Structure 1
Amino acid sequence: MTRGNARVWHACDDLVARYADGSLPEPDAWSLEKHLEGCAECAVRVSRAVRGTAPGTLLAEVREAVLEAAPPAARTLAPVPVPVPAPVPQPPRAARLLWAAGPAVRGAWLPAVLLVALGAMALEFGGGFHGTRALLLAIAPVVPVAGVALSYGPHADPLYEVVAATPAGGLRLALTRTAVVLAVCLPLLTLTGLLLPASGAPAAAAWLLPGLALSLATLALASFTGCRSAAGATAGGWLCAVLAPVPAAPGGEATQRLAEQLSRCLDGAGAQGAWAVAAALSAALLAARRPAYDRLPRR
């Protein structure tokens, strides 16, 4: 690609030719298509190159055949010049960033995360309840999963079908919104955990790898079942695993049993290593399932 200055660039001839014959890799093709939305000059060059390919030649022959079959008066009409469209005005950068952040961060999810953090602090220091860190660590890994479920899909975005058909849609948009969700809840909930007494619970940052692994697993599973079903499966599986011993605990020992179960799930190199492997496998499955995000509908 060639650049006229720091802000304006145009596609080089080789890039245009490879796009026209279909040999350009998909990410580069997406980038070029995004550029064509605002660059009339490159749009004309790409159109000219496509007309020179075999499909373009075939379409020209079809056009000639249609004109020959048309009445003589229609064939003598002069072609109507097609005006070159003006570049589409772009919204302000702040508006684009807010849209990319997703409905979860713009809606009720962010206040809910703040409520979880403030509620844990109030329960520990205002309500005299000991063992709040264990409760926070049990809930924390499912918070980003809920954010992912609320950020992507036709249920979350009224422009979903339109956006999903653009180069900026699909898995790229899902990953962008997941990254925003993680960037919000990871530091907030970890800082809250650091301010709470340990009371036998694991370290405040022990939930980070499980939270990442569950978020990636949700995205990978969503390519089969949809975002909401995938989030329900991963979040429900985690809560069942950590809360299973609690109902059988004698009175007054529920938080202790929860802390012990969390220690088995989160503490130590073995547990953290298993979560790292789970995150890597989920990422690999997500990469393999990427084409599923390019098909509609995804619910």
Structure 2
Amino acid sequence: MTGRHAPETLIARYADGSLPDADAWSLEKHLESCASCAGRVSGAVRATAAGAVLADVRDAVLAAATPAPAEAPPPRTPRLLWAAAPAVRGAWLPAVLLVALGAVLLAHVAGFSGARSLLLAIAPVVPVAGVALSYGRHADPLHELAASTPSAGLRLVLTRTAVVLAVSLPLLTLAGLVLPPPGGPGAAAWLLPGLTLTLAALALGGWLGLRTATAVTGGGWLCAVLAPALATPDGAVARHLSDQLSAYVGGAATQGGWAAAAALCAVLLAARRTAYDRLERF
């Protein structure tokens, strides 16, 4: 395209089906915000043989439609549920419950003193994994249809991310509150790290793809927190894990660093928002 509008040659090739997919997608994206070009494309398509067939189909549909009394506009809730449903189905929600209940059982049944520290170490990667499992062909049987709608791209990813956070944050924080404190960080100390890792995965997803980005961020966190504690020669895993978490999430200065990192990731995500327009589209 040249200037602010699509040239006639581009529109003609689009109408007769000879325009490459990448150029056709670019033109369709332009049409979402340009009524003038949309009208020209519509006229070009109507002038082709396919346009006559589409006109006949349209007339038949209008003829078969019967007048109906005025009704209230349909509620928006079903659309929201359709967009958010993959974020709360499948294996992810049982996994969240398993993490929360497992930590409670370790503390109150098995008597493991480091149950809260273990929960705080795992909790930040739970929403990251939920985001990876709620978007893409592997998660949504209607992904191809969803990816072709105006609500696709980053808007759809953020909708499902919000659902993942709304489910995992209160469940895991509540589980942390009922665990005996080990003297380390509090039950809510993981919230900012979890939010930051989720935003970092979304920002990296524009370059690496969503599943790879979540593997990098979630795996990096687990290696940084769990590996040193598990490798301790004296076997005091609970104490070393509590010390590790105090260094990573404890204190106002550390939490302030996580907040700044979350803001930076949000800025990067906003700057790369168009990368999600074609993420896993084809």
Coarse TM-score class (shorter-chain normalised): 0.7 to 0.9
1:50-199 equivalent positions in 2, closer than 5 A: 50-51=38-39, 59=44, 63=47, 82-83=58-59, 95-199=78-182
- Report the Cα distance in structure 1 between the residues aligned to 2:57 and 2:235, rounded to whole angstroms: 82
| 1:291 matches 2:239 | no
Match of 2:227 in 1: 244
Aligned residue for 2:240?
Answer: 257
CA drift of 1:82 comes to: 3.7
Amino acid paired to 1:175: L
Confirm or deny: 8 A CA contact 1:148 1:177 kept in the other structure: yes
Give the TM-score, by structure 2 length. Answer: 0.75
Distance 1:296 1:261 in 2: 36
Quote the offset at 1:154 in angstroms.
2.0
- Residue 219 of structure 1 contacts residue 227 of structure 1 at CA under 8 Å; is this kept in 2? yes
- Give 1:199-218 correspondences, 5 Å limit: 199-218=182-201
Q: Select which of 215, 219, 222 maps to 1:232.
A: 215
CA contact (8 A) 2:87 2:161 kept: no
Query: In structure 1, what residue type is equivalent to 2:100?
Result: A
Asked if the contact 1:98–1:106 (Cα under 8 Å) also holds between the matched residues in 2, the reply is no
Structure 1: distance between partners of 2:189 and 2:132: 23
- Within 2, Cα distance between the matches of 1:202 and 1:143? 18
Determine the C-alpha separation between the residues in 1 that align with 2:198 and 2:245: 19
SS at match of 2:229: coil
The answer on whether the counterparts of 2:154 and 2:276 sit within 8 Å (CA) in structure 1 is yes
> C-alpha displacement at 1:132, in angstroms?
0.4
SS state at 2:230 partner: coil
Distance 1:50 1:166 in 2: 17
**2 CA distance for matches of 1:268 and 1:109?**
31
Could you tell me how far 1:91 is from its partner in structure 2? Answer: 8.5
Q: Is the 8 A contact 2:103 2:115 kept in 1?
A: yes
1:277 aligns with 2:260: yes
Shift of residue 185, structure 1, vs aligned partner: 0.5
Q: Deviations over 1:238-276 (max 9, x none)?
A: 011112321332344111001001000001121111111
Distance in 1 separating the partners of 2:90 and 2:210 = 17
Q: Distance in 2 between matches of 1:262 and 1:205?
A: 12
Checking the alignment, whether the CA contact within 8 Å between 1:161 and 1:296 is kept in structure 2 is no
Per-residue deviation, 1:155: 1.9
Alpha-carbon deviation of 1:99? 2.4
- Return the alpha-carbon distance in structure 1 between the equivalents of residues 57 and 172 of structure 2: 60
The equivalent of 1:42 in structure 2 is none
How many angstroms apart in 1 are the aligned matches of 2:123 and 2:279?
Answer: 31
2-side partners of 1:226 and 1:49: how far apart? 32
Distance 1:296 1:212 in 2: 22
Structure 1 contact 164–170 (Cα < 8 Å) conserved: yes
Supply the RMSD in Å over aligned alpha carbons. Answer: 3.3
CA pair 81-198 structure 1, distance change in 2 beyond 3 A = closer
TM-score w.r.t. the length of structure 1 is 0.71
CA distance in 2, matches of 1:80, 1:180: 43
Separation (CA, whole Å) in 2 of partners of 1:280 and 1:201: 26
Q: Distance in 2 between matches of 1:220 and 1:280?
A: 11
Structure 1's consecutive aligned runs of 4 or more residues displaced over 6 angstroms after TM superposition are: 46-49
State the Cα deviation string for residues 204-259 of structure 1 (Å, max 9, x = none). 00000000001111111111111111111000110111123213323441110010
After superposition, the C-alpha distances for 1:159-187 in whole angstroms (9 at most, x for unaligned) are 21221111111110100000000000101
Query: Corresponding residue for 1:39?
Result: none
In the alignment, structure 2 segments of 5+ residues that lack a partner are 7-27, 50-54
Larger radius of gyration: 1
